[in-house]
Amino acid sequence: MGLSPWETSDSQLFALITGANSGLGYSIAARLIDEFITSPTTPPKKHLILILCTRSPLKTRFTISKLRAHLRILVESSSFAKKLRAKAKAEGKEYRWEDGVQRVHFLGVEVDFCDLKSVYAIADKLVNRTVGNPEATNMDGGKLPYGSPGTHSYSDKIQQDRWALSQTPGSIGTQRSWGWGLSGIRLPRIDVIILSAGIGGWTGINWPMAIRDVIFDTIEAVTWPKFKVADIGALTRSQSSYKSATSSDEGKQEKPDEPPLGQVFCSNVFGHYILAHELMPLLSRPASSTSKHGGKIVWVSSIEAQEEHLSLDDIQGLRSSHPYEDSKRLTDVMSLTAELPSVSRIVAPYFDPSKTITGAKAIKNTREDEDLPNVKPRIYLTHPGIFASDILPLPSFLVAIYKLVFLFVRWLGSPWHPIEGYKAAVAPTWLALTDAEILNDLEENGSERAKWGSATDRDGEERVMKTEVAGWGWHGHVEEVEENKIGRKRDAVNVTKEARENFEVLGAQCWTQMEELRNTWEDVLGVKNTDYSS
């Protein structure tokens, strides 16, 4: 294994994004690249290493192709690039857009969050083994001609097809060939993991209710909708035979010797919960010997999560008519209570790298940072507002109508309608790139935890805004808030001392159940005795 292409730089940012091939995940990746490159606070020699999580190698290849094209445009022909080119010319220097491209690196891994065995396997790969990226593809994700740059078959002795990726500097294909072929890369740490993948679990819309609500209560109807129809009780396929299961195994059937596992719950919460836990050996490693901070775990929730959307007797939402909202409410409660003193004993094993399967199987490393002390990572909570996403299956003409309604309510004053995925990515991107010290100051070192939302003004200018959480408020304090505060749900009530105490108790109970469930599935799957090296 040779030197990684970033090892000679002053510093690096290792960011893992789940669901990176489409929707919010892709938008976060694109925005992360843009703000990393264009921010005046980013050191010019700092490198960004994006670890993109998708469900298949084809999706990984296609995602990397699109992001490389996006990066090329940013550093070569955007308004940002033109300013840098003009500045370089005025100083008598040559502007090389290639230097910008070479500061961003892409690695790819594949995982299905409804397949817990694949979650453990990918965690083991990231912690104990090496990662890379798949072969290059054309812009449609198709296979390149034999011998093309970026493929394992490449040879400079082979005559290149005109559709092949070119190695000539400045050529059209360069942005897709650079960085391909990265392999045998051992991750020294993960600085931030953005948990954005998920499913809605909806089967359709109650159209009479939708039309009525949108007409007579427009803002509330398209911010906190009640008309989506869910697939109640949907389970994952049998975990013990997931790879061999056929389509007929899907739905509401579980294996007798396995506990039930909700599909939406597993995809949106539990799979990510396990992944973050198993990545603690990387998330707990500081960037340097002087750093006091571990990695960031950024949970992506939803504006739709409300107090009625979670029951301790049905934490997976199997009997619920709104399992998606239940999963997001669970995300809120656990994220906001993770550092409370009353919950610390319960969550301690979750944050302990030595309690992970990957940690127990750790292969002795030879890196210089091997002796760095572990630093507990911190959980942050965000949501993207309301944007046009394919998570709710709708015909294209209805999506267009929906966007017009979003524009209308934004004009009326709703801050929660970014509409576009790129604007919806502003909050999670901000959390990923903002210095941990600044975030700690904003959240009073954990005592004023907040749900950071992607918002816009009437003109569509995006910004990050705190979001009210039922039982918690804006930052976990009992306070009087005006009823017409911007972005507030109409029937929201001020947090009382009793409600705040109940929220904390609920957090402890949710963490207890999740830890019990994690331990149960470790035993069911036998992951402690599984060898993932083959």
The two tokens of residue 202 are 């909806």
Beta bridge partners of 379: 297
Cα angle, residue 504 at apex, residues 502 and 506 outer, rounded to 5°: 70
Known catalytic residue at 273: no
- In three-state secondary structure terms, 132 is strand
For residues 510 and 334, the answer to whether their CB atoms sit within 8 Å is yes
Give the C-alpha separation, 27 to 33, whole Å.
Answer: 10
- Calculate the dihedral angle through the C-alpha atoms of 38, 98, 139, 401, rounding to the nearest 10 degrees: 20
Known catalytic residue at 301: yes
| Chain position carrying tokens 């709710």 | 392
Catalytic, out of 26, 154, 324, 350: 324
| Chain position carrying tokens 């005046």 | 40
Which phi-psi region, left, alpha or beta, contains residue 251 (left: φ > 0; alpha: ψ -120 to 50)?
left
Question: Got the DSSP string for 332-371?
Answer: HHHHHHTT-HHHHHHHHHHH-GGGSHHHHTPPPP--GGGG
Known catalytic residue at 328: yes
Give residue 269's identity as a one-letter amino acid code.
Answer: V
Which residues are within 8 A (CB) of 120 and not within 5 positions of it... i.e. 6 or more apart? 274, 278, 357, 525, 527, 530, 532
Sign of CA dihedral 321, 327, 328, 331: positive
Catalytic, out of 27, 148, 196, 301: 301
Active centre residues (catalytic): 301, 324, 328
